[in-house]
Amino acid sequence: NAGVMQNPRHLVRRRGQEARLRCSPMKGHSHVYWYRQLPEEGLKFMVYLQKENIIDESGMPKERFSAEFPKEGPSILRIQQVVRGDSAAYFCASSQGTPYGYTFGSGTRLTVV
């Protein structure tokens, strides 16, 4: 069981470019969550998805950010027209749902230059 796989581990983008972050959940997990962590801070919830459905996107910025979890393939977090403030570590987690714990991936560290 490979756990939650995120790629890339590190991503550098210039301002205005697009960033695409991928997350493959653990086998058997149908719930995917994305969190963002700024330096020296805790994790901030962004979005919760199940296959082909966005369940809760209350933590997603209204513009430039989108997420999907298609029937086949990984979950994708997409950031359009990146700005320096988007630089952060983005973590994906998967679970079987409440009351189980989450399994986190190693994260994607996005740097916008």
Partner 1 sequence: SQQGEEDPQALSIQEGENATMNCSYKTSINNLQWYRQNSGRGLVHLILIRSNEREKHSGRLRVTLDTSKKSSSLLITASRAADTASYFCATDPLEGKLIFGQGTELSVKP
Distance separating alpha carbons of residues 96 and 103, to the nearest angstrom:
10
For position 106 contacting partner 1 by CB under 8 A, the verdict is yes
Q: Could you check whether the bond before residue 99 is cis, i.e. omega within 30 degrees of 0?
A: yes
Asked if residues 20 and 13 have their Cβ atoms less than 8 Å apart, the reply is no
For position 5 contacting partner 1 by CB under 8 A, the verdict is no
For position 100 contacting partner 1 by CB under 8 A, the verdict is yes
SS3 of 36-54: EECCCCCEEEEEEEECCEE
Work out how close the CB of 91 gets to partner 1 at its nearest, in angstroms, rounded to a whole number. Answer: 6
For position 12 contacting partner 1 by CB under 8 A, the verdict is no
For position 65 contacting partner 1 by CB under 8 A, the verdict is no
78, HSE (Cβ side, Cα atoms, 13 Å): 11
Please report, as residue ranges, which positions from 23 to 42 form the binding site for partner 1 (by CB under 8 A): 31, 33, 35, 41-42
| Residues of this chain that bind partner 1 (CB under 8 A) | 31, 33, 35, 41-45, 48, 55-56, 58, 91, 93, 97-107
